[in-house]
């Protein structure tokens, strides 16, 4: 009761305080966590969530009785959840709350209770040596000491099982299965009062593996099956024979784990094999021969279940062996493929032996084959009594080479196959064999062992054209193996010469070009550090060539030489350097002054035209070049070094502009500021400027003074004359082409007209000259004083033009410490009004003066907000209210805020800022008349923020993007939100220390225009300080649909066609209309991709009387992003006969009628006049209704005129 009484008093106190401060009340929502057995209440948490899943509050339970209490500050829908350690069970697990302040449990003061129902016991049945186990194992749980019922469970995939709502106590776990064996099938287990640990695993020692062996459909017994494994040890396999099998040897030297023998039913059974990878090898041996069992081995794996071998073993035939030799009694040949009639082929081993398996008795034809070795077919009789097959002897071998012709002479056709002849040594012409090479020049003969002579075949035409092959012939001996590498090649010459350089030659290139276009080769690289370099060009075919030296930065006496190659090398070629080439490209015509750096006084000047210029320098080394111009380049001077030549690019970066100021009276403080539109250019200040008269005086030689130190009377008279008239001040500035300049002259006593000028520099080849001129006139000054002397008073001067009465923007200035001020110069074409203001003061004008004021002070409160280390806090909301005064403002960077203009009263002050707790949080302040109060508030940081930027892929900031920081781990239910500003920057406040958050875009309509973000999420961890420099890139959804197409029609009809686009809801007025003109393709403006339907129609201006055609149309919906539609328009001209025939039928009656009228005009004229009068009577005003009706009828029967389309 005492505890509840204290809670009641606390809630009452809170309510009373909140009523005074007009804050929102909170509601207490509490209850108990109950249990029939002893549990650890302190490990249980109660959490309050919004329906959206955001954590609002969390608390733990009282350790003695499980009581909890949660404050709720807002009405709405919530969920109250119990969150115990993993494996603990409760009923219910959550309660939905609709807080309305009246009918819900919390509002009525009712307890919300959660009942503990037990622990969840989980465990696994594992395969031995594995981290997983099988499904389908029965596991039972029985409590010790009592007649409690046995609880059953069964393992799922992976071997896991669970028992729910298990109360603390002593239990026995037992696993069973009809086939599988266990290391230990049952284990004891204890469930404690705060248990959350899994049960110890139960281990399965092995699984059964079965299969069968057959022969022609009958089971075979006594076949041995040996078991091998690289993953399982011999000790882990049980119920299997480990005795060695007689007569069996393993080619790899591996030892089997064990073996089993097939039963009379042909069954193979391994009762218990642990999980792992295995290989099973069959072995079936008779008295004199080994029989073949297929497959010869089988790989299988045991996972977490019984295994039935997928393939039945079969006994098929017997095995015999033979050998392939390179000669009688010679060595064995490996890799020979031996095939017995229609059976699969086998390959000989390293010693040439091979084995034929699954053979039955009979006579066979054996064929052998291997690349470059050839054999004759062998006929053999094979039966089980044949211990070894006769040897297979090689009969012929390949003799191979290559005939390489790199380049054919220009008079001969390129490509084609060549021929090579072969004759036995000492043989006659009839023994000669000739074959053709392939496209690569390769050839091969198939010969018996012996000695041979080989030579390429050339025609007389080829030899006459200069084609020569070396060597002319080669002798070759073939023994017991193929022979390769017999090669023939084409003769080519060398071309040699020297290069004479002014200085060290260094790296050069020599090129060779054929006059007949016979040969084009890459330039030859020469690198020699001497004044004379030699070169050599290899493999040159006979013909005429041009040899050139490549060094584009040098000048040469002759850069190219003509040569002819016949049947010998070409030597004694010579190239001589005459100078060094300088190339430069200039943007404007200039004069260039240049000199060698070792001879600075021997300068030369050259005029350069706009564009590319080049000239030769006689000496090697470094040169300095200086442009002379009214254009400024990126350098005052340029360096050129012949050792590292490069084209000089002189692009004018700035151009000299001139401006002038014409003042009616001279002044010594005229300055000019020039602001450029280029951000990188600083603001330039010029001056004080001197007038042209002053500059001319300074340029004149000084007059000699008289003995008394004074100028003569004539000189004084000259000065007076020169000082009369306006003064001209000129200034210059180097400007960039296209640069926009804002030029503003200034002076303490003179005003300028215009006040500033904006010019855009348009530079050409010539100098800019004068681009701007100002007029200067004396200005007006306004001065005054604030009494008593008070500094910092804001003086505001507004002006009204005397000409157009327009009010100009105010001019503001602060008073000095003594309260004085002075403003000017101001234009003399306006009238002025002066006002004064200062926060915390009332200022009134002094009568009889223009700019004097009297100051009266009000009360003020100065507040300084600092953190725990006395560092000023910016952005703290200070709310001050009292009487009719209300003010809510944020502290500045200094952490201070001043409330001024306060009358005598009581004021209530509150400090607020998320992430901080303040001391004092609120207080009452009494302000007297004219009093100044200073307060200090200290804030303690209790949470932190993260800062970042949201931008699009091109770096543009994205505004109004909603973000959220979702807590993870222990802070998983905490959510804080933020929105990016116009610069894409965002800040999310209220992040709790030592918490990790997942930062992401908020889902829903707020970000409906965003398709995705990169990264999609970021994990941030708060560690006692703010987090900065977070970057998120967002991608907007495509919301436009592109529609276009083409018209297939003869080009002469394109100009007559229009394409019209209608909404399917309005087929009268087109949305867009396009004329094709000369192009058959068209593209409409973008449409919204909202799934709406549209109709596209074609319209032609061709006359229907002359053409027959059908106008196509197509419909589509704006789903997706693009649609292309093709329309066909195929008009056909009507026949001429039809036109004439139609016209003639109408013309004959018309001509007859005209003739009749002409002959009887005298009789018809009165009749026509009477008809005209009758018609005139019908058109009297009394028949208006009839006209309207007739008009309506005409409108109904006339074909409707097409509505006029709007062109887009």
Residue 1180 counted as domain residue: no
Residue 525 burial by Cβ neighbours in a 10 Å radius (0-12, 13-18, 19+): exposed
Residue 1026 counted as domain residue: yes
Residue 151 counted as domain residue: no
Question: How many angstroms separate the Cα of 335 from the Cα of each of 129, 367, 444?
Answer: 43, 14, 21
Regarding whether 413 and 365 lie in a shared domain, the answer is no
Question: How many angstroms separate the Cα of 803 from the Cα of each of 332, 703, 831, 1111?
Answer: 122, 50, 10, 68
CATH classification at residue 849: 2.60.40.1140
Res 716: pLDDT: 42
The shares of helix, strand and coil residues in the chain, as percent rounded to the nearest 5, are 10, 50, 40
Give the tens place of pLDDT for each residue, 804-837: 778 888 889 999 999 999 988 888 788 889 999 8
Q: How confident is the model at residue 673 (pLDDT cuts 50, 70, 90)?
A: very high
Question: Which of 1097, 1095, 1084 minimizes the C-alpha distance to 1207?
Answer: 1084
Residue 906, φ and ψ in degrees, nearest 5: -95, 130
| pLDDT beyond 70 at 1205 | no
**Structure token pair of residue 985:** 């920057």
Res 814: pLDDT: 93
Regarding whether 1102 and 1054 lie in a shared domain, the answer is yes
Rounded to 10 degrees, what is the CA torsion of 297, 301, 302, 307?
-60
For 855-865, what is the mean pLDDT? 86
Regarding whether 442 and 352 lie in a shared domain, the answer is no
Res 518: pLDDT: 59
Res 705: pLDDT: 55
Q: Comparing 236 with 674, which gets the higher pLDDT?
A: 674
Give the tens place of pLDDT for each residue, 965-1015: 999 988 877 788 788 999 999 988 788 898 999 999 988 777 877 888 999
Helix, strand or coil for residue 1140? helix
Res 23: pLDDT: 31
HEC string of 378-433? EEEEECCCCCCCCCEEEEEEEEEEEEECCCCCCCCCCCCCCEEEEEECCCCHHHCE
Res 844: pLDDT: 86
Long-range contacts of 194-200 (CB under 8 A, 24+ apart): 194/39, 194/40, 194/43, 194/85, 195/87, 195/119, 195/168, 196/85, 196/86, 196/87, 196/88, 196/119, 198/121, 198/122, 198/123, 198/124, 199/121, 199/122, 199/123, 199/173, 200/123
Question: How many angstroms separate the Cα of 978 from the Cα of each of 680, 965, 982?
Answer: 35, 9, 13
Write the DSSP symbol of residue 623: E
| pLDDT beyond 70 at 5 | no
Residue 505, φ and ψ in degrees, nearest 5: -70, -40
Residue 174 counted as domain residue: no
Q: Are 180 and 208 in contact (CB under 8 A)?
A: yes
Q: In sequence order, what are the beta bridge partners of 595?
A: 624
Q: Are 568 and 530 in contact (CB under 8 A)?
A: no
Distance between CA 537 and CA 512 in Å, rounded? 8
Rounded to 10 degrees, what is the CA torsion of 949, 954, 958, 962?
-70
Give the tens place of pLDDT for each residue, 274-327: 999 999 999 887 554 667 788 888 999 999 999 999 899 987 777 778 899 988
Segment of 239-243, 361-365, 546-550, 802-806 carrying the highest mean pLDDT: 546-550
Q: Comparing 1003 with 1150, which gets the higher pLDDT?
A: 1003
| Terminal Cα distance for the chain, rounded | 84
Res 1199: pLDDT: 38
For 1114-1143, what is the mean pLDDT? 78
Query: CA angle, corner 171, sides to 168 and 173, nearest 5?
Result: 130
Residue 664 counted as domain residue: yes
Write the DSSP symbol of residue 877: E
Phi-psi map region of 252: left, alpha, beta (phi>0 left; psi -120 to 50 alpha): alpha
Percent of the chain at pLDDT > 70 equals 85
Among candidate residues 733, 754, 778, the one where a domain is terminated: 778
Among candidate residues 1036, 1055, 1071, the one where a domain is terminated: 1036
Write the DSSP symbol of residue 23: P
Regarding whether 659 and 761 lie in a shared domain, the answer is yes
Regarding whether 1018 and 952 lie in a shared domain, the answer is yes
CA atoms within 13 Å, Cβ hemisphere of 776? 28
The pTM of the full predicted model, rounded to 2 decimals, is 0.33
Residue 1205 counted as domain residue: no
Give the tens place of pLDDT for each residue, 872-926: 988 786 767 666 666 767 889 999 999 887 877 777 676 767 678 889 876 778 8
Q: Kindly report which listed range (191-200, 784-793, 1016-1025) carries the lowest average pLDDT score.
A: 191-200
| pLDDT beyond 60 at 1146 | no
For 605-618, what is the mean pLDDT? 89
Q: Comparing 407 with 944, which gets the higher pLDDT?
A: 944
**Structure token pair of residue 558:** 């002759």
Regarding whether 759 and 670 lie in a shared domain, the answer is yes
| pLDDT beyond 90 at 235 | no
Regarding whether 828 and 883 lie in a shared domain, the answer is no
Distance between CA 1140 and CA 984 in Å, rounded? 77
Q: Where are the alpha helices (DSSP H) in 629-774?
A: 692-699, 713-723
Helix, strand or coil for residue 581? strand
Residue 1126 burial by Cβ neighbours in a 10 Å radius (0-12, 13-18, 19+): exposed
Give the tens place of pLDDT for each residue, 131-173: 899 999 999 888 887 666 678 888 999 888 888 888 888 888 8
**Which DSSP string corresponds to 105-166?**
HHHHT----EEEEEEEEEEEEEETT-S-B-S--EEEEEESSS-PPPEEEE--TBSEEEEEEE
Res 1203: pLDDT: 41
Regarding whether 267 and 253 lie in a shared domain, the answer is yes
Q: Are 546 and 564 in contact (CB under 8 A)?
A: no
Regarding whether 960 and 937 lie in a shared domain, the answer is no
Q: Comparing 758 with 829, which gets the higher pLDDT?
A: 758
Residue 808, φ and ψ in degrees, nearest 5: -90, 160
Regarding whether 312 and 210 lie in a shared domain, the answer is yes
Q: Kindly report which listed range (245-249, 362-366, 478-482, 1162-1166) carries the lowest average pLDDT score.
A: 1162-1166
Q: Kindly report which listed range (11-25, 324-338, 705-719) carries the lowest average pLDDT score.
A: 11-25
CATH classification at residue 911: 2.60.40.1120
Q: How confident is the model at residue 64 (pLDDT cuts 50, 70, 90)?
A: low
Helix count and strand count (H, E) for the chain? 8, 94
Give the tens place of pLDDT for each residue, 429-469: 888 899 998 888 899 999 989 999 999 988 887 776 667 88
Res 1097: pLDDT: 94
Question: Which of 1030, 1040, 875, 874 minimizes the C-alpha distance to 961?
Answer: 1030
Rounded to 10 degrees, what is the CA torsion of 76, 79, 80, 81?
-160
Write the DSSP symbol of residue 869: T
Q: Comparing 996 with 1120, which gets the higher pLDDT?
A: 996
Distance between CA 488 and CA 469 in Å, rounded? 7
Place of tokens 């050069």: 508
Regarding whether 1015 and 950 lie in a shared domain, the answer is yes
Give the tens place of pLDDT for each residue, 1166-1177: 555 544 444 444
Res 921: pLDDT: 73
Residue 501 counted as domain residue: yes
Phi-psi map region of 51: left, alpha, beta (phi>0 left; psi -120 to 50 alpha): alpha
For 1119-1128, what is the mean pLDDT? 87
Res 674: pLDDT: 94
Q: Comparing 19 with 1085, which gets the higher pLDDT?
A: 1085
**Averaged pLDDT of the chain:** 82
| pLDDT beyond 80 at 795 | yes
Residue 703 counted as domain residue: no
Among candidate residues 1036, 1052, 1069, the one where a domain is terminated: 1036
Res 294: pLDDT: 85
Res 1129: pLDDT: 92
Q: How confident is the model at residue 1154 (pLDDT cuts 50, 70, 90)?
A: low
Q: How confident is the model at residue 620 (pLDDT cuts 50, 70, 90)?
A: confident
CATH classification at residue 83: 2.60.40.10
Regarding whether 768 and 674 lie in a shared domain, the answer is yes
Helix, strand or coil for residue 1163? helix
Domains in the chain, number: 11
Instruction: Give residue 733's domain range.
Output: 654-697+725-778
Query: CA angle, corner 301, sides to 297 and 303, nearest 5?
Result: 165
Q: Are 96 and 70 in contact (CB under 8 A)?
A: no
Q: How confident is the model at residue 1134 (pLDDT cuts 50, 70, 90)?
A: confident
């Amino acid at each position: 009761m005492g505890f509840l009484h204290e809670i009641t008093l606390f809630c009452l106190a809170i309510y009373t305080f909140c009523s005074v401060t007009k804050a929102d009340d909170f509601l207490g929502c509490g209850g108990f966590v109950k249990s029939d057995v002893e549990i650890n209440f302190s490990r249980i948490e109660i959490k309050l969530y919004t329906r959206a899943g955001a954590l609002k509050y969390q608390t733990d339970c009282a350790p003695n009785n499980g009581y909890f209490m949660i404050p709720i500050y807002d009405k709405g829908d919530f969920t109250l959840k119990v969150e115990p350690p993993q494996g603990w069970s409760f009923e219910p697990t959550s309660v939905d709350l609709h807080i309305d302040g009246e009918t819900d449990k919390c509002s009525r003061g009712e307890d919300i209770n959660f009942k503990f129902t037990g622990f969840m016991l989980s465990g696994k049945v594992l395969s031995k040596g594995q981290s997983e186990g099988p499904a389908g194992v029965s596991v039972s749980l029985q409590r010790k000491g009592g007649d409690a019922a046995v609880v059953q469970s069964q393992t799922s995939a992976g071997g896991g099982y669970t028992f729910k709502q298990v109360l603390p106590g002593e239990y026995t776990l037992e696993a069973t299965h009809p086939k599988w064996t266990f290391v230990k099938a049952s284990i004891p287990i204890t469930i404690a009062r705060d248990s959350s640990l899994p049960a110890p695993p139960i281990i399965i020692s092995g699984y059964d593996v079965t299969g069968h062996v057959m022969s022609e459909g009958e089971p075979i017994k006594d076949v041995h099956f040996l078991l091998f494994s690289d993953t399982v040890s011999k000790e882990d396999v049980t119920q299997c024979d480990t005795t060695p099998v007689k007569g069996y040897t393993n080619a790899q030297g591996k030892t089997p784990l064990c073996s089993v023998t097939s039963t009379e039913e042909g069954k193979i059974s391994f009762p218990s094999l642990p999980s792992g990878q295995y290989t099973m090898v069959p072995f079936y041996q008779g008295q004199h021969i080994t029989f073949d069992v297929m497959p010869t081995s089988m790989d299988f794996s045991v996972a977490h279940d019984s295994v039935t071998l997928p393939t039945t073993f079969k006994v098929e035939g017997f095995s015999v062996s033979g050998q392939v030799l390179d000669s009688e009694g010679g060595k064995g040949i490996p890799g020979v493929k031996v095939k017995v009639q229609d059976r699969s082929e086998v390959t000989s081993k390293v010693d040439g032996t091979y084995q034929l398996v699954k053979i039955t008795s009979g006579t066979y034809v054996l064929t052998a084959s291997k690349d470059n070795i050839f054999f004759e077919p062998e006929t053999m009789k094979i039966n089980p009594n044949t211990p070894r097959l006769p040897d297979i002897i090689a009969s012929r071998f390949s003799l191979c080479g290559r005939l390489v012709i790199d380049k054919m002479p220009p008079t001969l056709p390129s490509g084609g196959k060549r021929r090579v002849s072969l004759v036995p040594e000492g043989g006659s012409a009839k023994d000669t064999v000739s074959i053709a090479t392939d496209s690569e020049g390769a050839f091969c003969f198939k010969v018996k062992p012996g000695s041979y002579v080989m030579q390429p075949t050339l025609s007389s035409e080829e030899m006459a054209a200069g084609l020569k092959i070396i060597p002319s012939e080669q002798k070759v001996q073939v023994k017991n193996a193929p022979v390769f590498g017999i090669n023939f090649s084409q003769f080519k010459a060398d071309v040699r010469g020297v290069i004479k350089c002014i200085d060290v030659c260094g790296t050069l290139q020599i090129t060779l070009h054929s006059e007949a276009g016979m040969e084009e080769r890459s330039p030859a690289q020469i690198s020699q550090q001497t004044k004379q370099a030699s070169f050599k060009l290899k493999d040159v075919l006979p013909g005429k060539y041009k040899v050139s030296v490549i060094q584009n930065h040098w000048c040469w006496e002759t850069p190219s030489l003509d040569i002819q190659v016949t049947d010998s090398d070409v030597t004694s070629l010579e190239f001589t350097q005459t100078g060094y080439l300088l190339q430069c490209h200039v943007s404007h015509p200039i004069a260039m002054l240049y000199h060698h750096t070792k001879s600075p006084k021997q300068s030369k000047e050259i005029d350069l035209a706009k564009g590319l210029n080049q000239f030769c320098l006689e000496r090697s080394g470094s040169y300095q070049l200086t442009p002379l111009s009214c254009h400024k380049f990126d350098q005052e001077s340029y360096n050129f070094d012949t050792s590292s030549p490069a084209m000089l690019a002189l692009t004018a970066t700035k151009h000299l502009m001139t401006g002038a100021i014409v003042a009616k009276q001279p002044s010594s403080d005229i300055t000019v500021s020039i602001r450029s539109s280029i951000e990188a250019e600083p603001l330039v200040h010029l001056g004080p400027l001197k007038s042209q008269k002053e500059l001319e005086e300074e340029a004149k030689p000084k007059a000699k003074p008289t003995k008394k130190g004074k100028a003569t009377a004539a000189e004084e008279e000259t000065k007076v004359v020169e000082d009369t008239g306006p003064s001209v001040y000129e200034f210059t500035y180097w400007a960039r082409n296209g640069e926009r300049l804002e030029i503003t002259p200034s002076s303490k006593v003179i005003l300028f007209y215009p006040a500033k000028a904006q010019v855009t520099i348009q530079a050409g080849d010539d100098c800019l000259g004068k681009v701007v001129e100002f007029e200067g006139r004396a200005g007006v000054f306004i001065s005054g004083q604030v009494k008593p002397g008070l500094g910092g008073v804001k003086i505001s001067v507004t002006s009204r033009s005397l000409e157009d009465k327009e009010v100009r923007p105010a001019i503001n200035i602060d008073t000095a410490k003594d309260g004085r001020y002075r403003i000017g110069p101001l234009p003399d074409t306006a009238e002025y009004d002066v006002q004064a203001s200062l926060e915390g003061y009332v200022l009134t004008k002094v009568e009889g003066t223009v700019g004097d004021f009297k100051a009266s002070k009000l009360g003020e409160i100065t507040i300084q907000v600092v953190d725990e280390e006395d560092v000023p806090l910016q952005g703290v909301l200070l709310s001050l209210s009292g009487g009719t005064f209300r003010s809510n403002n944020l502290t500045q960077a200094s952490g201070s805020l001043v409330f001024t203009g306060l009358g005598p009263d009581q004021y209530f002050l509150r400090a607020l800022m998320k992430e901080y707790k303040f001391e004092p949080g609120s207080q009452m302040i009494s302000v007297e008349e004219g009093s100044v109060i200073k307060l200090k508030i200290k804030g303690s940081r209790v949470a932190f923020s993260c800062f970042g930027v949201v931008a699009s892929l091109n770096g543009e900031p994205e505004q109004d993007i909603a973000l959220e920081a979702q807590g993870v781990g222990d802070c998983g239910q905490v959510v804080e939100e933020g929105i990016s500003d116009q610069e894409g920057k965002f800040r999310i406040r209220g992040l709790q220390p030592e918490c990790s958050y997942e930062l992401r875009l908020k889902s829903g309509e707020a970000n409906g225009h965003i398709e995705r973000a990169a990264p999609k999420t970021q994990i941030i961890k708060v560690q006692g300080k703010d987090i900065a420099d977070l970057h998120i890139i967002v991608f907007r959804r495509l919301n436009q649909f592109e529609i276009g197409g083409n018209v297939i029609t003869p080009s002469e009809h394109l100009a007559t066609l229009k394409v019209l686009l209608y909404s399917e809801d309005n087929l009268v007025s087109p949305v867009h209309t396009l004329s094709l003109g000369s192009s058959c393709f068209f593209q409409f403006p973008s449409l919204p991709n909202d799934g709406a339907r549209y109709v596209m129609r074609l319209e032609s201006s061709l006359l229907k009387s002359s053409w027959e055609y059908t106008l196509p149309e197509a419909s589509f919906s704006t789903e997706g992003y693009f649609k292309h539609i093709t329309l066909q328009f195929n008009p056909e001209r009507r026949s001429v006969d039809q036109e004439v025939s139609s016209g003639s039928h109408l013309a004959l009656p018309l001509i007859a009628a005209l003739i009749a009228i002409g002959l009887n005009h005298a009789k018809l004229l009165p009749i026509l006049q009477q008809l005209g009068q009758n018609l005139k009577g019908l058109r009297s005003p009394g028949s208006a209704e009839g006209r309207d009706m007739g008009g309506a009828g005409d409108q109904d029967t006339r074909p409707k005129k097409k509505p006029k389309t709007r062109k887009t």
